[in-house]
Amino acid sequence: MRFDLKQERGFTLIEVLAAIVILSIVSLVLTSYFVNAMSYSKSNQNKTIMVNLARNALFYMEKQDFEKTQDFFVTKGYTVSANVCQIGACGDNTTAEGQAYRDTFDTDSLASVLHPRVNGVAYTIDVVYQPGVWGNQPQPTGAVSSILNQSSVQSYLLPVKVEVRRADRGSPSANTVEVEGYITDERIR
């Protein structure tokens, strides 16, 4: 019995190996796209968390007494800083700034707002008064200008910038997120 192998048409070992190499290269390229998409999505998720924390801090500041807050920012020139207001040690009695914190805010809740922890990640928040905002605003024109002028608006609004950072500054996504807003007087809320 003799087998005749002349009519068989199959793949050679070289062809099979070449196909496997090409398939593995294509799959590695596609895997890198998925890894990049996941890291981009994760960084956007972190930024979204930080923006929401900044908005929360801004809402907290809006709920405070406007006259005391205005005195704290404008007259005394302080900023609400997470470095100054630590949890359990916000508003010490030894400094004028610590006394200003205690006179203006509920220091326990302020410390909790300035040092949030979300999904096991600690963040720090600073609230900075922006006095230069008013110089950049155009004067209203038309019918509104007779009713509303910039100096009357300034007495009811405090422009602030809320800065949120991760507490562990060594992380690669330790960039700062800033949200600008206004603290409004209770009389116009």
- Domain assignment present for residue 20? The answer is yes
- Domain assignment present for residue 23? The answer is yes
Compute the distance between CA of residue 163 and CA of residue 30 in angstroms, rounded to an integer: 37
Instruction: State pTM to two decimals.
Output: 0.76
Tokens of 53: 């924390």
- Domain assignment present for residue 8? The answer is no
- Domain assignment present for residue 156? The answer is yes
Number of compact structural domains in the chain: 1
CA angle 79, 85, 88 (to 5 degrees): 165
50-104 pLDDT, tens digit per residue, is 999 999 999 999 999 999 999 999 999 899 988 888 887 777 777 888 888 888 8
166-187 pLDDT, tens digit per residue, is 988 666 555 889 999 999 988 8
- Domain assignment present for residue 3? The answer is no
- Domain assignment present for residue 1? The answer is no
Continuous segment of H or E residues that includes residue 165? strand 157-166
Q: Is 31 exposed, middle or buried (0-12, 13-18, 19+ CB in 10 A)?
A: exposed
pLDDT at 151: 66
- Domain assignment present for residue 44? The answer is yes
Compute the distance between CA of residue 46 and CA of residue 186 in angstroms, rounded to an integer: 33
Tokens 């909790």, residue located = 112
28-41 pLDDT, tens digit per residue, is 999 999 999 999 89
pLDDT at 94: 79
**183 is in which domain, residue-wise?**
13-188
- Domain assignment present for residue 7? The answer is no
